Structure 1
């Protein structure tokens, strides 16, 4: 028996309710083993098949009794713990007095078994606690929704706390079928299903974990299986390089070397410097240890061990031929207003503003540090910055204060004979680009700016990244990604560093930034034990022998880019491919970096000079670590395969 849902939803999907079990007939033909992609805060983003990601979202959602309090699992909303054991990924987290453990286990081709355990720590009245699955409108517009094990007249029995609900009934399974996608959720027994369409057209499937009153000590459990199927995009890809246009120079991969872990940092630093071509380095000025007392000359006595080690780290990088960025995190108390803060206030305010009564002493203290390294270690740093002063980690500035600081410190350093410049921005994220505009508009500030910098933790939209590219073009200065990676909270759940999902997302962002922003360097956060791209060695409690993970191989492959290349336009005619190209026509040296977020494709690469006959081809993925092959080039055209879910680089020999 069929029943249509109300006309309001007629442009979003079609609903069919079946009283029989769903027939799982062969709607799609690809049955390769799939991998569930899980974020470390517990949300699923989809399941892969032959590399193709069947996208959907999941989250835990809590609706308070008053109907106003709503909470959900999301990035930087809780303090989760992530782990993997074999095919099972687990996340432990909490929302208020509800403690959750989600376990998502591979269950065969395209399938994942989900188990949610909830422990209640306090008597609480809820409108509802749900596991929510979100089907994106881009892939499920016009979908048919089917139920099994229910009657058509039960479609809207009871009430729902959710607006725009078109299903609220018990069923043994629910299935959404679109033109190229199908998603099935199967339960062990009858289970309440609530379905709605949100304002953006996404279909949301709510599975109640609890309704009404829950009591302290209650343990709630729910298990079900999600199966995703669909077409796999295996269409050939045409990639074209335009060697007639030359953009900004790419010096190569850089690294942050802020010392934080005395026992485990040295091994990672040694391994990284021995196995990577690191083009730029960033180190810390431990300012609060350098001059804790404003009226005591720090250069007149013995250095504290941490200050000495930080200077020695900078010297080591300089000796390897790197330009050095010197950044200050924590200030001495005399340099700021109020007691120095290293955590946000309850209102979410980070850091302290500088004490402008002491501006001259501040300029002198920083300059004295640079002069000390110059006189005692024989080198001068390229640039100075306050780390993330737009946010306050740990010095907070307004955009106007940042402009004035650049002018003040820049003039003071110049008066002491230093060539060191001040870095504009060094922002916490790409999203806060307004922070750099006052200094950009001030001619007096501009003459002391050495480069523009942002950190890549947030703000990955093309239009946001383009703001930074435009700023560098306007000032005709290098753009630097001062901290490169994708999750500023990942140190809380370091198991995610070993996941392909993290490695691929990180290198995919780097490829996009290389293409859009054209930075001089991306400085990995970090090439130390903090956010380590290496595994073992006692780091994060892992006592395996120290060895490179997939993230390290990605970095090594990127670092293999030859010196002296310039950004060049490159295009791909199929979705799911991120591409960045660089070259030097004078030496006919070229490099192409490709991140394939989908299935295996055949590629035709065009636009290379006719003089090139072969390319080196490197591939890194879950099975291969910079595996090298040879690709033939004829008349400027190369043909090769782009393996599924992989990072591939091609470079002239």
Structure 2
């Protein structure tokens, strides 16, 4: 009996160790191929080092003039993870593709591309393409294996700038610090071109010339990358004497869209995150559906639309938690718009509706009545108002001049009614559309009504573009707000991507860069509801696991752990692959560093903190570590030395 008991214990222990090994293996495997949800591979990681390239599927027209390629927001793809495989389904014209990218071993993946043709087509070719970064592969050597003597007789169609068109069993590009090899089970056609701007490109034909309806196309191969791993030490220097704009903390969007699944995410987020700012919806077209009605009287009589009531109560909940609350309107009522309401873009690609100039006084009154009723009923006043993404038309569309005039018109009307609510300048769909704010930015008569400058972080991440938003806030001497924070506005179409390390790391890396460059007062996560949820399970997106936090949530929690009301401080980073932002308050002796390591493990030497700071608490989030507090970092003679583990988000907070 005792021997049987020991045997069972050993079996359970072995099973436990085996499960841990499986988890570790799976975690490592997940970190290899970085696959975008539209199918493009952007590189393969090994020991944290990303060996970058960009793949795509391209369909080239018969005359060669038109190229249709997989890319962000070009198709309507579906993405899923299955063990070590990432699978993307998408469509170009009448070709329905399935691409599976499977991690094989360190630095090596297997790619299988399949396509079903739904009609007859004549094309120059369907290709899987690999673009090699010019800065690394410009002077690389190309090596072939398994080339037959007669392979040139079976060449694929010629392209301009082609210098290799041959059938081979493998092709390898060898640069000074990188290597990339594509291998086939048997010799296949490969074409190498040199693009003037993009550099070397490898074309692997999936199909050429005529494709018959019902045809089943398929191509499989492996991609292997290897080379030097950048483990060079990083040095960082803080300038604590140059205190910038205040950061009040992480914020969140709370636009209610999913009655069944929103409450659990909101409750969990507000319980487990320090949320410093909130943004809610004004369901305008439900507040006053008819121009000649009195929405305030209807509300007082208990005739509020349930969606309006819940939106107001959401704002009250955030206010009661001590947050400033931003009010944003999406859809206008029909009476306030020009033309029939566009709930979706027109065939010409035009979003939203312009406001009816003849109804502008009624529009000002309708919005102001909403804010006044909330103040009367719930005892708080919204900090600011905006139309969501009016530069694009989601769903009120305005010209830059109309945006300026509306800020002045509504701003003056609200002030005349005794409200302190200000207007958001911008609240743009992306950072790239910064010119939209210039008419109002440069109009002194608009200035009294602007409470903050706002943009959404879906696109436009170049330092030069982000700096323009910081400059605008500085010019007006008002806060900068990231009204919607995240990285892919279409991600709700392929929600499995939210659980990938690739998405989580890119999102927090962007936030760190925004903190350093833009110095916002807050970044409002889109969203802290079931829509784009940072939580997993709970029936959201069809996942019925128990509700629990994913890597993105732990990233947000670590960012939200920033002490209240600290100021941006400059930091210089000597070394590649690490993003850094520093916040502090010299009067309180409080400092926090947010560091994102996009590569392999690095040693860091930090200088510049005041001499009275002796120790830094160390928190880390990775695929396996959830804001884990590690051993504190000691500071000796003003110098701190520590490690940044591979592919990690680290926060250091002064004790």
Offset, 1:417? 0.3
Alignment root-mean-square deviation, CA: 1.3
Q: CA separation in 2, counterparts of 1:481 and 1:311?
A: 22
1:504 to 2:505 alignment: yes
Q: Is the 8 A contact 2:344 2:351 kept in 1?
A: yes
Partner of 1:58: 55
In the superposition, the TM-score normalised over structure 2's length comes to 0.94
Offset, 1:69? 2.7
SS in 1 for 2:530: coil
Matches within 5 A, 1:234-633: 234-301=231-298, 302-629=303-630, 630-633=632-635
Q: CA separation in 2, counterparts of 1:177 and 1:152?
A: 24
Offset, 1:572? 1.1
Offset, 1:67? 2.3
Q: Is the 8 A contact 2:29 2:103 kept in 1?
A: no
Q: Is the 8 A contact 1:616 1:652 kept in 2?
A: yes
- What's the CA shift string for 1:68-124, capped at 9, x where partnerless? 232000000000000001100000000000000000001112100000111000011
Offset, 1:639? 0.9
SS in 2 for 1:555: helix
Task: Provide closer, same or farther for how the CA distance between residues 231 and 215 of structure 1 changes in structure 2, counting only shifts above 3 A.
Answer: same
More helix by share: 2
Partner of 2:211: 214
Q: CA separation in 2, counterparts of 1:156 and 1:233?
A: 43
Q: Is the 8 A contact 1:33 1:109 kept in 2?
A: no
Q: Is the 8 A contact 2:272 2:557 kept in 1?
A: yes
Q: Is the 8 A contact 1:146 1:176 kept in 2?
A: yes
Q: CA separation in 1, counterparts of 2:593 and 2:471?
A: 23
Q: CA separation in 2, counterparts of 1:32 and 1:555?
A: 24
Q: Is the 8 A contact 1:141 1:201 kept in 2?
A: no
Q: State the aligned residue count.
A: 623
1:190 to 2:178 alignment: no
Matches within 5 A, 1:167-178: 167-178=164-175
SS in 2 for 1:370: helix
Task: Provide closer, same or farther for how the CA distance between residues 159 and 43 of structure 1 changes in structure 2, counting only shifts above 3 A.
Answer: closer
Q: CA separation in 1, counterparts of 2:103 and 2:191?
A: 25
Q: Is the 8 A contact 1:155 1:167 kept in 2?
A: no
SS in 1 for 2:407: helix
Partner of 2:13: none
Instruction: Choose 632-641 or 304-313, whichever is displaced more.
Output: 632-641
Q: CA separation in 1, counterparts of 2:153 and 2:440?
A: 60
SS in 2 for 1:443: coil
Task: Provide closer, same or farther for how the CA distance between residues 272 and 34 of structure 1 changes in structure 2, counting only shifts above 3 A.
Answer: closer
Q: CA separation in 1, counterparts of 2:160 and 2:81?
A: 37
Partner of 1:639: 641
- What's the CA shift string for 1:455-484, capped at 9, x where partnerless? 000000000000001111111010000000
In the superposition, the TM-score normalised over structure 1's length comes to 0.94
Offset, 1:367? 0.2
Partner of 1:104: 101
Offset, 1:154? 5.0
Instruction: Choose 127-136 or 66-75, whichever is displaced more.
Output: 66-75
User: Could you list the runs of 5+ residues in structure 2 that have no partner in the other structure?
Assistant: 1-27
SS in 1 for 2:375: helix
- What's the CA shift string for 1:581-632, capped at 9, x where partnerless? 0111111100000000000011111111111111111000011000102111
Offset, 1:201? 5.0
- What's the CA shift string for 1:15-73, capped at 9, x where partnerless? xxxxxxxxxxxxxxxx9996010000000000001101000110000011132232000
Q: Is the 8 A contact 2:284 2:333 kept in 1?
A: yes
Offset, 1:161? 3.9
SS in 2 for 1:444: coil
Offset, 1:159? 5.4
SS in 2 for 1:78: coil
